[in-house]
Structure formats: C-alpha cells, structure tokens
C-alpha cells in the first residue's frame, strides 16, 4: 500500500500499539500502520458517513475488520477510556477545529500517551494550546509535499521547562533550533508574498492591515536570520 509523503511522515511518529485516527477519511493511516507492523489495533473515526464508508471499504479490502474498528462521530466523542488508546492522530484539518476536538475530548486526550497533530492552519494556536494545557512538544517538523507545506507536531503529557517565545509558537522551536532549511524556504516564500501585498496597499487607508503586515514581516525576517 502506497501513501503520500505527508501521511508517511505522520506514521513515522507513531510509537504505540493502539491508535485512534480522528477524521480518518479513507483510513489510509491505520491500514498502512498495521500492514507495516507498527500497531496492533486501531479505531478509525469520522464525522462524515461518506468518508467513513470509504474507510470501511478500504478496511474490508485489506481484511482488517478485526483490527481496525470504525466509529461515526464528531472528534473524540466516540472514544472512551475503556478503549485504552495510546496514540491519537488528528491530521488534515484546520487548527481551530483541531483545538475544538481536543478541548471537548480533553479527558481522552490527556490519557493518551501521545498526540500526533497535523493542522492545516493556525499552527501557532495549536502549539500554544498544547503548552498551556500540560502537554510537552517532543517533535515538530515542517515538510513539503506536492509543493505544499505541512507541519506535524508530536506531544506527550508533561510541561515545557522553558517557556515558548512568540516566534517559537509561530514557527516551531525544533525548526528554529535545528536551522531547518524547509522552514527557511517557507519563510522566504511568505516574505515575498507579504511584501507584494504591502506594496499594493501601502497608499491605501488600510492602516491596521499595513501595521499587521509590517509587524509580521519584521518577525519573519528576524527568524530568517537565525536559520
């Protein structure tokens, strides 16, 4: 079974036997994990009946009905403590939706051994929520797949010894400390786009937007210098 580079990088972060894949869609992640001997059991959850049916079809295709259970529901609402889920995977959705899932399912999330999250946007808010809610980020990676940038965050229960800075919330502590070249490329592209927008609105009455852009550009340039 072949999966995308992005999904493959997510599976690489999994280190436990019993997972819950939230927003599973086609159930590619749990199927791939089991076929590669990385897990023993999985729960594939989705809020969409259509997506869950696709997951069921794929699970049937690989004869994994006894290994991967499917549940129709919103976020973590169909996961119980009795399921003894070790790893929670939430990927491919907006950061604010992800935070809503984590907040509503906080008991389940806090009892898992690891969270593997791949928010599509508002990544800084996801990092901030984790840090402020007794999670410790132990892996944080930006990658590029099919000309799009993605970030995968892995967190466990615990507290950060050193508080995160604003820049670390935005770009990731690991990426900055490791002088990540993909992050450098990403920042360079974003700076180019922001400077074009700023140039186009410089003489307009959008003062608050201009100030916001100027501030963002300054932050991006400071981090770029460190990479």
pLDDT digits (tens, 9 = 90+) for 46-83: 999 999 999 999 999 999 999 999 999 999 999 999 99
Looking at CATH, the fold of the domain delimited by 5-161 is given as Rossmann fold (3.40.50)
Q: Measure the CA dihedral 212/148/28/115, to 10°.
A: -40
Residue pair 168/190 in contact by the 8 Å Cβ criterion? no
Token match 């696709």: residue?
54
Query: 122 in the Ramachandran plot: left (φ > 0), alpha (ψ -120 to 50) or beta?
Result: left
pLDDT digits (tens, 9 = 90+) for 160-219: 999 999 999 999 999 999 999 999 999 999 999 999 999 999 888 888 999 999 999 999
pLDDT digits (tens, 9 = 90+) for 87-112: 999 999 999 999 999 999 999 999 99
Over residues 135-146, mean pLDDT: 97
């Amino acid at each position: 079974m072949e999966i995308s580079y992005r999904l493959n990088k997510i599976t690489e972060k999994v280190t436990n036997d019993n997972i819950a894949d939230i927003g599973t869609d086609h159930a590619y992640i749990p199927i791939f994990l089991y076929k590669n001997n990385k897990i023993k059991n999985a729960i594939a959850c989705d809020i969409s009946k259509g997506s869950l049916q696709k997951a069921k079809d794929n699970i049937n295709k690989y004869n994994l009905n006894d290994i991967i259970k499917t549940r129709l529901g919103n976020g973590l609402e169909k996961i119980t403590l009795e399921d003894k889920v070790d790893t929670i995977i939430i990927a491919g959705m907006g950061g604010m939706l992800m935070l809503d899932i984590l907040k509503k399912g906080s008991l389940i999330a806090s009892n898992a051994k690891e969270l593997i999250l791949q928010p599509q946007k508002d990544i800084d808010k996801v990092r901030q929520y984790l840090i402020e809610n007794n999670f410790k980020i132990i892996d944080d990676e930006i990658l590029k797949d099919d000309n799009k940038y993605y970030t995968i965050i892995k967190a466990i229960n615990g507290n950060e010894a050193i508080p995160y800075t604003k820049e670390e919330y935005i770009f990731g502590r690991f990426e900055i400390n490791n002088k990540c070249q993909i992050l450098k490329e990403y920042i360079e592209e974003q700076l180019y786009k922001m400077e074009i927008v700023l140039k186009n609105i410089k003489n307009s009455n959008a003062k608050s937007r201009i100030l916001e852009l100027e501030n963002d550009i300054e932050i991006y340039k400071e981090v770029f210098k460190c990479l």
